A and B are shown apart, each in its own frame.
Chain A
């Protein structure tokens, strides 16, 4: 059974629309992360959280909000989707410090 799941796996959104990407974990990890991956590039950190009801900005937070309502769930919200936000989004979990992270399967978002 997958420990990190994401929904939806694929989504097409219109410019200016609201998009919510969801992540659920059964790893019992405190830390959860949202990354985006653009073709030919590595992953870049958008937001992360180390406790429920609290989120932190990553390296590229502009245009994104995050929500952590429980230890298991972490959402990424695009209030006004833009063409430049077309990418694959990955959720990951970890125990913090210098530990490795465990990734979900990704959500492919296309903004038209």
Chain B
């Protein structure tokens, strides 16, 4: 069955440090992958998406993600985090042609230490 796993429920990093949030997926066909961010008491906002081509995709606010078919992964990265990056981050997998249904990971809560 299709699934998305985010193995880290919580991650804490210091401001200015680099960041990696992990995402593993299980899907037999070509995956279409997304990273969303949820700030407190708000809806989800798209950070970036991967459809095909270059495995490294750029998103908003200097986030990027790297797709690896061999590892079934789509990890989110940022070179230098800011306190405003504190939020919950969700990885999602799209499946089903013309349905657009998304399967979400459990989310990773990112906290930034000053």
A and B held together in a complex: yes
By CB atoms of chain B within 10 A, which of A58, A98, A101, A103 has the most? A98
**Chain B residues with CB below 8 A from A102, complex form:** 46
In the assembled complex, the Cα of A92 lies from the Cα of B102 at a distance in Å of 11
Task: Determine the interface band of chain A, counting residues with CB < 8 A from chain B.
Answer: 20 to 34
Interface centre among A31, A41, A96 (most CB of B within 10 A): A96
How distant is the Cα of A92 from the Cα of B44 in the complex, in angstroms? Answer: 9
Interface string of A9-35 (1 = CB under 8 A from B): 000000000000000000000010100
A50 to B99, CA, bound (A): 8
* Chain B residue nearest to A100 in the complex (CB): B46
Q: How distant is the Cα of A100 from the Cα of B49 in the complex, in angstroms? A: 8
Give the complex CA separation of A50 and B97 in angstroms. Answer: 12
Determine the chain A residues whose CB is within 8 A of the CB of B97 once the complex forms.
97-98
Interface string of A87-109 (1 = CB under 8 A from B): 00010101111111111111000
Whether the pair A101, B9 counts as a contact (CB closer than 8 A) is no
Q: Which of B11-19, B71-79, B103-111 contacts A (4 or more CB under 8 A)?
A: B103-111
Contact B102 A45 (CB under 8 A): yes
Q: Which chain B residues numbered 1 to 39 have a C-beta less than 8 Å away from chain A?
A: 4, 6, 9, 32, 34, 36
Complex: chain A residue closest to B93, CB-CB: A98
**A58 CA / B104 CA spacing, docked (Å):** 13
Residues in chain B within 8 A of chain A (CB atoms): 4, 6, 9, 32, 34, 36, 41-46, 49, 51, 90, 94, 97-102, 104-107
Q: Which residues of A contact B (CB under 8 A)?
A: 4, 31, 33, 40-45, 48, 50, 58, 90, 92, 94-106
